[in-house]
Amino acid sequence: MKKITARELLRAVPAHGAMGACFGLLTFLVLVQTDNSNIKEMIASGSDPMQTFLMLAAVFASMFAIFCGLTGLLFIASEPGGR
């Protein structure tokens, strides 16, 4: 059984983070397009709608990226045979 080094673990985290950021951005765009919770009204009612839109997109992307990166780290660390 191969031992996983810390370097191998840290190399895998950015890929999982990037996948999470894409997934978070896609989730945000679906929420805006379906407008289930009047998110378009909230964005339009702000003083600068484009800045509000970009901030919400960044928050969704970073929120998903952080947790997908951590989840990927845990999954890879718990693999019995290593990568």
1 in any annotated domain:
no
Q: Give the CA distances from residue 46 to residues 53, 62, 70, in Å, rounded to whole numbers and listed in that order.
A: 10, 22, 33
42 in any annotated domain:
yes
> Per the structure, how many domains does the chain have?
1
54 in any annotated domain:
yes
| Residue bearing tokens 């996983």 | 4
C-alpha span between 23 and 8 (Å, rounded): 24
What's the domain range around 66? Answer: 6-77
34 in any annotated domain:
yes
16 in any annotated domain:
yes
C-alpha span between 27 and 21 (Å, rounded): 10
pLDDT digits (tens, 9 = 90+) for 10-48: 788 888 999 999 999 999 999 999 988 889 999 999 899
83 in any annotated domain:
no
pTM: 0.79
C-alpha span between 21 and 31 (Å, rounded): 15
